[in-house]
A and B are shown apart, each in its own frame.
Chain A
């Protein structure tokens, strides 16, 4: 006769018993039941087998996210849709979903650009940056298509800047929302040499508004003892002078000059991918709509001061853009539609500011930048490259010397820790500097353009918003004996010869202005990662990942679409802006940014 427990109850208890989660009394009853019940004994064996199989699952290789997490804690990245996808060395794979055949024709420039005038504008801005020491302006901002229920938002914005590092931005949301549940996108950023404070709405993803489960309110973050020209709290000075946005004349289309507020203006057109430093400078913190990377920006620049007086973002018309807009929930986006219009209403170079403007209280989440200032040593008094000595000090094992004049700065960081991290290799290209070699990084969202030198004395990094050629000149005398490590943390830097020996393919097409920055191989699974960036300022790069011995793509929870690539079906992930497919038994993937599928397809086809 069986015990009082029913088979269903016994089976749950058998499962718990495997985990040591059964009490003595119940166990007695279960054991008694098992003696007479063959099905439950079979069930127990089956549970044991399954539990064992699950427990001996191979553990996936875990990425080191410390740096990304600490960067985000220090300064949460702004906006959505442009995130450079995380570097993954492991291959992931996919299931084909719906099939979309994309006629990937890339919009080209209609007319040959006026390169001479574009170069003159770039030169003029570089010259103006040396003498500009203060700036004050007010703007009106109109944003369209942010949310299906709130298609038009209006803001007023005021900016104050005094060289080198006093900055204040105030954004006031003037939008009339459908009701009080909608968060107002009011932003306050106050920075001084030693402190940085940002106050912004803390909301859930735009699509979940106005109601969602996440805490809503105002979020304040303060960095105290901030190190000079800190990458985690960069000051968005392109709003005063578009030095990073127009760091190169490449891809600039100069159109007929015009007038604005009675002043002569130059008008240039450029893709969003290039204009990101400027767009970011108005969208600091808070919640804003995203742009597709090939949306267009028209920028009006004052011919006398080179201040940006107006910029308008309009929707691109590429074949993949409507898919992207649909996925992002931008229901009103149409080709050529206006998405953002920022207009200066007042501006001046006046420096007649109340000193209290740049003072801020320590509030909210507080981060200690750890910078200890020291007196400027005599040997630095002469400055570097025409820049005056600014602040000198240390953060942990690093010693930092900075120089600044006008909007320009140079930061020299020496670290006793000679070896960097694999992340340094990823977007760094090896360049000859004087007698040695350096690892060069274009300006990005995280830092200005910089060069790493590795010598016996340790690692020295020079970071600056001066042009690349000037940075290389300044670095030359310090580069003697500098050699780039060929391997860091299991990531191997590939030379051209090494790359040719792998199964990795190299694209024969890249968008205008992109150059190869690095080719790396993970020694663990022989994944080859090749990155491409713009040489001066590259807020949105391109990455090609290839892993041998992968036979199929793995299912994913992401939203994907299938893309026909000649004779194979590839998968496009909206989340990662990455196109991936299996070619024989090699996994290949092309990652762009900001939903730029057409570019990814064009590159993928050129790989084959």
Chain B
């Protein structure tokens, strides 16, 4: 069963053939495998940007698909399949970040920790570092909008946020990244 590209206006992610989703819901593992193949790259990229580590992104991606498989029976098609799947991946990543946070706090009691700043960053590294330095509530909307090109409506559904909040957070994220990358310009702007 091929995954059919069904472009919808403004949507950066494609939607699967409903028959494939139906078959996967009915327990057809080859149909689910089609979905895994179709979406794993996007899910992995999302997870990578959220958890900021490739090995963790591997794990979280797997967790997301395992959870999706388990909850597929509850998917009734009210939202797009991509939105539903991204929402699960986002939840898995946030769970992982919280777990990592708890572990880190324990560690911090013993050892002072401070992430090192890149010494001579190439431009792309600088941007990546800046994005990764954002708190998760700003990073997630920025990823969905800027990396995945989703409309605010879909991003809001994935993050369970009103569109207006998505809009203001994306703006704040962009300003924060700009400030990290352009400290001199920031000072100049502040002086105006």
Please tell me if A264 contacts chain B, counting CB pairs below 8 Å: no
B111 touching A97 by the CB < 8 A rule?
A: yes
A47 touching B178 by the CB < 8 A rule?
A: yes
Which residues of A are found within 8 Å of B48, using beta-carbon distances?
Answer: 60
CA distance A129 to B85 in the complex (A): 47
Please tell me if B75 contacts chain A, counting CB pairs below 8 Å: no
CA distance A27 to B69 in the complex (A): 43
B120 nearest CB neighbor, chain A only: A551
B100 touching A50 by the CB < 8 A rule?
A: no
Question: A167-188: which residues lie under 8 A (CB-CB) from chain B?
Answer: none
A15 touching B171 by the CB < 8 A rule?
A: yes
Which residues of A are found within 8 Å of B132, using beta-carbon distances?
Answer: 555
Please tell me if B62 contacts chain A, counting CB pairs below 8 Å: yes
B182 nearest CB neighbor, chain A only: A46
B95 touching A558 by the CB < 8 A rule?
A: no
B41 touching A558 by the CB < 8 A rule?
A: no
Please tell me if A352 contacts chain B, counting CB pairs below 8 Å: no
Which residues of A are found within 8 Å of B110, using beta-carbon distances?
Answer: 98
B52 touching A556 by the CB < 8 A rule?
A: yes
A573 nearest CB neighbor, chain B only: B55
Known A-B contacts A54-B131, A365-B70; the reply to A92 vs B112 at CB < 8 A is no
Please tell me if A421 contacts chain B, counting CB pairs below 8 Å: no
A57 touching B29 by the CB < 8 A rule?
A: no
Known A-B contacts A20-B10, A575-B56; the reply to A207 vs B70 at CB < 8 A is no
Please tell me if B81 contacts chain A, counting CB pairs below 8 Å: no
Please tell me if B157 contacts chain A, counting CB pairs below 8 Å: no
B65 touching A19 by the CB < 8 A rule?
A: no
A60 touching B45 by the CB < 8 A rule?
A: yes
CA distance A327 to B110 in the complex (A): 12
Known A-B contacts A57-B147, A98-B111, A555-B116; the reply to A68 vs B177 at CB < 8 A is no
User: Within the complex, which residue of B44, B104, B111, B185 is in contact with A63, where a contact is CB–CB below 8 Å?
Assistant: B44
B66 touching A86 by the CB < 8 A rule?
A: no
| Interface 9-residue window, one of A70-78, A267-275, A498-506 | A70-78
Question: B75-116: which residues lie under 8 A (CB-CB) from chain A?
Answer: 95, 97, 99-100, 102-104, 106-107, 110-116
Please tell me if A557 contacts chain B, counting CB pairs below 8 Å: yes
CA distance A552 to B106 in the complex (A): 27
B61 touching A65 by the CB < 8 A rule?
A: yes
Kindly state the interface size class of chain B when it binds its partner. 35 or more
CA distance A88 to B152 in the complex (A): 33
Least distance between B20 CB and chain A CB atoms (Å): 15
**Would you give the 0/1 interface string for B42-65, flagging 1 where the beta carbon is closer than 8 Å to chain A?**
001100100111111011011001
A73 touching B99 by the CB < 8 A rule?
A: no
CA distance A60 to B48 in the complex (A): 9
Please tell me if A431 contacts chain B, counting CB pairs below 8 Å: no
Least distance between A508 CB and chain B CB atoms (Å): 27
Please tell me if B167 contacts chain A, counting CB pairs below 8 Å: yes
User: Within the complex, which residue of B52, B106, B114, B145 is in contact with A557, where a contact is CB–CB below 8 Å?
Assistant: B52
Least distance between B179 CB and chain A CB atoms (Å): 10
CA distance A195 to B47 in the complex (A): 35
Which residues of B are found within 8 Å of A46, using beta-carbon distances?
Answer: 178, 182, 185, 189
CA distance A246 to B187 in the complex (A): 69
CA distance A68 to B112 in the complex (A): 36
Please tell me if B174 contacts chain A, counting CB pairs below 8 Å: yes
Known A-B contacts A70-B29, A86-B55; the reply to A39 vs B69 at CB < 8 A is no
B178 touching A50 by the CB < 8 A rule?
A: yes
**Would you give the 0/1 interface string for B126-139, flagging 1 where the beta carbon is closer than 8 Å to chain A?**
01110110000000
Least distance between A19 CB and chain B CB atoms (Å): 6
Q: Most chain-B Cβ atoms within 10 A of its Cβ — which of A19, A43, A59, A214?
A: A19
Question: A245-275: which residues lie under 8 A (CB-CB) from chain B?
Answer: none
Which residues of B are found within 8 Å of A205, using beta-carbon distances?
Answer: 99
B37 nearest CB neighbor, chain A only: A66
CA distance A365 to B110 in the complex (A): 44
User: Within the complex, which residue of A51, A65, A73 is in contact with B58, where a contact is CB–CB below 8 Å?
Assistant: A65
B45 touching A69 by the CB < 8 A rule?
A: no
Least distance between A498 CB and chain B CB atoms (Å): 26
Question: A1-59: which residues lie under 8 A (CB-CB) from chain B?
Answer: 11-12, 15-16, 19-21, 38-39, 42-43, 46-47, 49-51, 53-55, 57-59
Which residues of B are found within 8 Å of A69, using beta-carbon distances?
Answer: 36, 40, 61-62, 65-66
CA distance A100 to B111 in the complex (A): 9
B55 nearest CB neighbor, chain A only: A576
B101 nearest CB neighbor, chain A only: A557
CA distance A214 to B110 in the complex (A): 30
B171 touching A11 by the CB < 8 A rule?
A: yes
Which residues of B are found within 8 Å of A64, using beta-carbon distances?
Answer: 40
A73 touching B29 by the CB < 8 A rule?
A: yes
**Would you give the 0/1 interface string for A549-573, flagging 1 where the beta carbon is closer than 8 Å to chain B?**
0001001111101000000000001
B174 touching A47 by the CB < 8 A rule?
A: yes
User: Within the complex, which residue of B54, B62, B103, B111 is in contact with A72, where a contact is CB–CB below 8 Å?
Assistant: B62
Query: What are 10 pairs between A and B in contact, CB < 8 Å?
Result: A11-B175, A39-B189, A46-B182, A50-B177, A72-B62, A72-B65, A207-B99, A327-B107, A365-B70, A558-B55
**12 additional contacts, CB 8 Å, given A63-B54, A100-B111?**
A15-B167, A19-B170, A21-B152, A49-B178, A53-B123, A70-B36, A72-B65, A327-B107, A555-B52, A555-B115, A555-B129, A578-B55
Interfacial residues, chain A to chain B (CB-CB below 8 A): 11-12, 15-16, 19-21, 38-39, 42-43, 46-47, 49-51, 53-55, 57-60, 62-66, 68-70, 72-74, 76, 85-86, 88, 90, 92, 95-98, 100, 202, 205, 207-208, 213-214, 219, 326-327, 365-368, 552, 555-559, 561, 573-576, 578
